[in-house]
Amino acid sequence: MKKLYLILICIFCLFSIKAQNQLDLTDVINIAKEKSIRSKQIENRYQNAYWRNFSYKRQFLPSLNFNGTLPEIQRSISSVTQNDGTEIFVNRNVMSNGANLSLNQIVPFTGGSFFARSGLDNIELSGNQNSTTYLSRPVEFGYSQNIFGFNQFKWNKKVEPLFFNEADLLKTEEIEALSVEAVNRYFDLLRDQLSLENSEKNLLNNDTIYKIGKGRYSYGKISENELLQLELSLLNSDIAFEREKLNYDLSRQKLATFLGYSSQEQIKLKLDSFIPDFTINLVEAITYANQNNSAIIRQKRQIVEAEMNVAKIKSDNRFNFNLFASFGLSQTADNLDDAYQNPQNQEYVSMGVNIPIIQWGLGKGRIKQAQANAELVNSTIEQERIDFEQDVYEKVARFNLNKKQLKVSKRANEVAEKRFEVTKQRYLLGKILISDLQIAQQEKDQALISYIGAYRAFWQSYYEIRGVTHYDFEKNALIKYE
């Protein structure tokens, strides 16, 4: 029975350890990419662009459509013109049916559209007169075209591929921006976790030192003022410990919900003190950024859209000629079989003309406005490209500086920790004053915060460069998310 009890206790302990997630920075970033709400938003935005591109491509394929009226019924009293020109009111019961099957094809090069269709209509009349009539259109071909008009399909072929390419690259940049946010959330909790552990050590140290100080005071080895100072340090460390517990709990909840967990999820972080040994070359970073960043594609798209707007406004303010032509066969009869016998030719041609004659400068003003807007877009993009390269330069310089500062901060933290232990032992031996011990403790606490801050800055700047260049300089490979 005792063995079974011990086994159950061990199983419970194992489950308790497993329930508390121990995550490093890589774990936090990967979970954020897979499970966070923001990762779902990134994917949803990409899917929106994907299906827009899918629809754009499919519009150039032939489409087969059916439309019909099955049936339309009308019962009314209507006036009917007689052969002698007089009109009488009669009861009319009309049921009509119609069906059309059409094949449509866009012609992107010209901006026109071609169609081929077949249809059948039927009218059944009852009341004072009963009759049934069929109208068949076995085959009909047609084409519509704006001869000198704006060709939207031609411009879409330029804009839509850029739009999807931009969305594809933007997805990578948003995921890297998500990594930056994950870095910040990770180090927020890690800072508070280590600060909590450090404040707990400080509380225990101050409690031990205060108890030793009380013994020394009873023997007259220290003054009352020094004892009161020890007590004040103990009280302050107790307050600091409670404050750090609250900060830790709040940061833990924020990280848990950010990763898609419950706010009650117990998360413990571990710090990998390894510092990656690689540098980033400025020329390479700018090259990758110019090749892969969505901002470059967006600028190209904006230039094309501005040119498209100028072309459209020019087209709307000049001579336009609309053509619609169709040819087919049709026949009418009292029965369905005869409606398809000896069909007759059916032709239809429509030509529409739109000529702006007097506009009092309205058209010219719109064209000039569109051209000015296009020039503004070009000059704005020119400045953006200069700022873009400057931004890449700053990110690379900041990363290389952060790497150096991280090494210094790591060593400073080790030195401050060791100095505090030495100072504490010297105080316990009565060789230094309490003020020296307190200074060493403050320097130790500050060195820890600076070390965590340097680690945060290092990884934050690295993932920012990954986002702008789409390149993993640690693995020497392009970043591509499926």
Domain that holds residue 83: 65-107+112-150+320-355
Would you state the structure tokens that stand for residue 235, as one six-digit string?
A: 């009280």
93 shares its domain with 169: no
181 shares its domain with 36: yes
In a domain, 85, yes or no: yes
Q: Alpha helix locations (H) across 331-361? A: none
In a domain, 335, yes or no: yes
pLDDT for the residue numbered 396: 95
Largest Cα–Cα distance in the chain?
139
In a domain, 364, yes or no: no
Q: Is the CB of residue 282 less than 8 Å from the CB of residue 393?
A: yes
pLDDT for the residue numbered 13: 42
Q: Is the CB of residue 140 less than 8 Å from the CB of residue 328?
A: yes
251 shares its domain with 326: no
256 shares its domain with 132: no
pLDDT for the residue numbered 9: 41
199 shares its domain with 252: yes
pLDDT for the residue numbered 21: 63
Q: What is the pTM of this model?
A: 0.82
pLDDT along the chain (482 residues), means of 10: 41 43 90 94 95 94 91 81 81 87 92 93 80 91 90 93 95 96 95 92 91 87 88 92 95 94 91 82 94 95 95 87 91 88 89 84 89 94 94 94 93 93 87 85 90 94 95 92 80
In a domain, 6, yes or no: no
pLDDT for the residue numbered 459: 94
In a domain, 8, yes or no: no
Burial (Cβ within 10 Å: 0-12, 13-18, ≥19) of residue 233:
buried
238 shares its domain with 275: yes
Measured between alpha carbons, how far is 456 from 184 in angstroms, rounded to an integer? 7
pLDDT for the residue numbered 93: 84
291 shares its domain with 330: no
270 shares its domain with 203: yes
Residue 187 CB: number of other CB atoms within 10 A? 22
Cis preceding linkage at 71, omega within 30 = yes
251 shares its domain with 208: yes
131 shares its domain with 257: no
Angle between helices 282-292 and 434-469 (to 10 degrees): 50
Which phi and psi angles does 361 have, rounded to 5°? 85, 5
Would you state the structure tokens that stand for residue 173, as one six-digit string?
A: 């940049």
Q: Which residues contact 262 (CB under 8 A, 6 or more apart)?
A: 256
In a domain, 13, yes or no: no
Which phi and psi angles does 3 have, rounded to 5°? -65, -45
346 shares its domain with 420: no
Residue 405 CB: number of other CB atoms within 10 A? 18
Q: How many domains does the chain divide into?
A: 2
In a domain, 60, yes or no: no
Which phi and psi angles does 449 have, rounded to 5°? -65, -40
124 shares its domain with 26: no
Element (H or E) spanning 255, and its range? Answer: helix 224-258
DSSP string, 53-68: HHHHHHTTS-EEEEEE
CATH number, position 242? 1.20.1600.10
Would you state the structure tokens that stand for residue 103, as one six-digit string?
A: 């094949």
Q: Is the CB of residue 334 less than 8 Å from the CB of residue 134?
A: yes
Q: Which residue in 97, 142, 136 sits closest to 119, CA to CA?
A: 136
In a domain, 178, yes or no: yes
